[in-house]
Structure 1
Amino acid sequence: MRTQVAIIGSGPAGLLLGQLLHLAGIDSVILERRDRAYVLARIRAGVLEQGTVGLIDKVGAGARLQAEGLKHDGFDLLFGGQRHRIALDGATGGGHVTVYGQTEVTRDLMDQRAAQNGRTVFEAKDVALHDFDRARPFVSYLENGVSKRLDCDVIAGCDGYHGVSRASVPESAITSFERIYPFGWLGILADVPPVSHELIYSGGERGFALCSMRSATRSRYYVQCALDQRVEDWSDERFWDELRRRLDPASAEALVTGPSIEKSIAPLRSFVAEPMRFGRLFLAGDAAHIVPPTGAKGLNLAASDVHYLSQALIEFFVERSSAGIDAYSAKALARIWKAERFSWWLTALMHDFPENGGFGQRMQRAELDYLVSSDPAMAALAENYVGLPY
């Protein structure tokens, strides 16, 4: 089989890239090691920047998002028993975010690709990348136990942190930067109305909590927990009780509880791999970087990568110029590091770091007090939260 762009991974990054290339008349094939049902069962983030929404609309997959997504023009910081609203619209000239689950984004993009007869190979096993340091790379894989070969001009690695794409790069050619945080997030999904119509980020002596949602009837809640905690140790009742303790009295009283439909613990890390181009192999999304979920930058960073990469590949195939692909890594990384900084800062501001002691807690409180009393500081927070321009 032959294509212009072999895309590894059918998450939002790979699917969005495939659709942007399709608009430009560039052929692609997506290889996914899991089946469609598995990909659509993954629970992920749900806060979209305007740039991400714009790209989804651009490829024609935004109808359901526009109909069902919840537009938010603010969120609350909760500390010292009080909620403080951070307005997004006024500080950013009308900026906002949209709450719409990543699972739904994936479904919409999958449906769009299928409607346009885009080629996706699910359950592609033993995927291996070859000769991406040359002009004619190819990908080998097993489909239903049969060996297959996909010849291509370039390979886009959109297969996540644990995928084969970054792992195929020689260690000497890549530099990794990483910060592992000493805690995780215990999260549950429940079919209950959210406690607030906007997100609440809570910080205090008991640790961080986040009140989020996927819709007006489905809520997503998190509490900071130790890395040695097990999901089995947390009954629904224990989770709801702990969440109440981390909220202000009014929110705790208003909290509607119910049985969880998903419960998991996610470790937190900051990670960046440089560069993001290796000959004819280009990394995008979690294959190249990870951010802690504080600030909701993971999916949105993947979308900005795809924006830059699609423009570069269109220039390469349509205009016969390599200027875009030569600049891709530096251009994408400049925005990535700004988002890494913001996610690291917000994580440090809102979480309990026991090793920081009393002095560290006082510094957090002083910074929070300053933040909510300073219009320029709140504007800077809002600017980063709604997403820096591409």
Structure 2
Amino acid sequence: MNAPKRTTVGIVGAGPAGLLLARLLHQAGVDCVVLETRDRPYVEQRQRAGVLEQSTVDVLRASGAGERLEREGLPHDGIELSWSGRRHRIDFPKLTGGKRVWVYAQTEVVKDLIKLQLADGAPLLFQATATGVTGADTASPTIHYTYEGEDRTLTCDYVVGCDGYHGVARQAIPESALTTYERVYPFSWFGILADVPPSSDELIYAHSPRGFALLSMRSHTVSRLYLQVPNGTDPNAWTDEQIWDELDARFAVDADWKLQRGPITQRAVLPLRSSVTEPMRWGRVLLAGDAAHIVPPTGAKGLNLAAADVTVLARAFIELHTTGDDSALAAYSDTCLRRVWRAEHFSYFMTSTLHSDPDQTAFDARLQLSQLDRIASSPHAAAELAENYVGVAL
């Protein structure tokens, strides 16, 4: 593919945020280029989130990337909370006026967007390694990158960093101009993929004296499960039998229910942290997704926040393109941060309510149980959880 030298919007990173932004801009006739360090197979195999909010599904449909999602995605009308040997279902449509979520892996979203982009979209260059961004405070910021063995530049009107917390777009902003708020959790998630049908039609979030557990899925035949473990845990130190035994213990309920076991095909340990960087724009460099904020996966917000960022950003660029009005672009950071902090709070609430902190006391544990009892007994508390889980409207 030819390497363009000039574009309106230069996008660094071909994760779901960068790809979705490029698709929305291309549909509206706004010139853009996507640069991605990794090759296509690597990008399409990165395991990440799997729960899509209603608004994320809506924008994927509008972008033309909803066909396979409609066919293969798993719509979910609720989740189950498990504690003290019992379960309580949170009914999303009943509590939110008809909203639901979908289970559809981020890898599949990325595959769908890449296919569209390469078929008829703006330029998408794999193995194009961005090495820096200069001129962030000028009218023509420039992305410096290597591609096909050569050093190249891409001059832009705007640069959007969708390249993560350690990406070059973020580094283009003076450290003195940014404030980062962060929380690091004293535990991790041990995640597995298993070739076995899910043991529940809906996700189960389990509070247990032994630690948190989550039952999720990737399809009708593949289960995705998580265990809370200490930071630094070696995933290879556990046998398959030990993993299933621990999951059994944490999901145990006083009912006729059994966790189905099967071959474990993937395993990894994921540290948990929360992070928000403000502002999300400096000069003509704008940050989206993990470049600006990170949430623990307990609230299922990471991919959805990234999609929300670029939806707001695409609208702002389209308004500038069609009317010359840059007010929405100027308000981008403030607009997104309101949603980001709501999602951060919800993710913190879910994490702190369901996990066992290594330093927590018996008093702290009783408070967690009281909170779960409150959700089960109060329609108002259940509705608050449901509304945050399905996502705030864009």
- SS of residue in 2 equivalent to 1:151: strand
Structure 2 letter corresponding to 1:134: T
Q: How much has 1:249 moved relative to structure 2?
A: 4.2
Which residue matches 2:363?
A: 359
Is residue 241 from structure 1 mapped to residue 245 from structure 2 by the alignment?
A: yes
Which residue matches 2:376?
A: 372
Q: For the residues of structure 2 that align with 1:251 and 1:108, how far apart are their CA atoms?
A: 40
Q: How much has 1:151 moved relative to structure 2?
A: 1.1
Identity of aligned residues (%): 52
Q: Which moved more, 1:13-22 or 1:254-263?
A: 254-263
Q: For the residues of structure 2 that align with 1:239 and 1:250, how far apart are their CA atoms?
A: 21
Q: For the residues of structure 2 that align with 1:79 and 1:265, how far apart are their CA atoms?
A: 24
Is residue 315 from structure 1 mapped to residue 288 from structure 2 by the alignment?
A: no
Q: How much has 1:126 moved relative to structure 2?
A: 4.6
1:220-299 correspondence runs (5 A): 220-249=224-253, 254-299=258-303
Which residue matches 1:201?
A: 205
Contact 1:133–1:278, Cα closer than 8 Å, also in 2: yes
Contact 1:83–1:248, Cα closer than 8 Å, also in 2: no
- SS of residue in 1 equivalent to 2:297: coil
Which residue matches 2:29?
A: 25
Q: For the residues of structure 1 that align with 2:237 and 2:145, how far apart are their CA atoms?
A: 40
Pick from 169, 172, 179: which aligns with 2:173?
Answer: 169
- SS of residue in 1 equivalent to 2:93: coil
Q: How much has 1:131 moved relative to structure 2?
A: 0.3
Question: Can you list the C-alpha shifts for 1:262-302, whole angstroms capped at 9, x where unaligned?
Answer: 11000000100000001110000010000000010000000
1:210-221 correspondence runs (5 A): 210-221=214-225
Which residue matches 2:92?
A: 88
Q: How much has 1:315 moved relative to structure 2?
A: 1.5
TM-score norm. by structure 1 comes to 0.98
Structure 1 letter corresponding to 2:309: D
Q: For the residues of structure 1 that align with 2:190 and 2:58, how far apart are their CA atoms?
A: 31
Q: For the residues of structure 2 that align with 1:228 and 1:151, how far apart are their CA atoms?
A: 42
Q: For the residues of structure 2 that align with 1:128 and 1:120, how far apart are their CA atoms?
A: 18
Pick from 41, 44, 55: which aligns with 1:40?
Answer: 44
Which segments of 5 or more consecutive residues in structure 2 lack a partner in the other structure? none
Q: For the residues of structure 2 that align with 1:129 and 1:74, how far apart are their CA atoms?
A: 43
Which residue matches 2:392?
A: 388
Q: For the residues of structure 1 that align with 2:393 and 2:238, how far apart are their CA atoms?
A: 40
Contact 2:12–2:130, Cα closer than 8 Å, also in 1: no
Q: How much has 1:168 moved relative to structure 2?
A: 2.2
Is residue 124 from structure 1 mapped to residue 128 from structure 2 by the alignment?
A: yes
Pick from 296, 304, 311: which aligns with 2:308?
Answer: 304
Which residue matches 2:83?
A: 79
Pick from 148, 152, 160: which aligns with 1:148?
Answer: 152
* Aligned-residue CA RMSD (Å): 1.2
TM-score norm. by structure 2 comes to 0.97
Q: For the residues of structure 2 that align with 1:253 and 1:236, how far apart are their CA atoms?
A: 21
- SS of residue in 2 equivalent to 1:356: coil
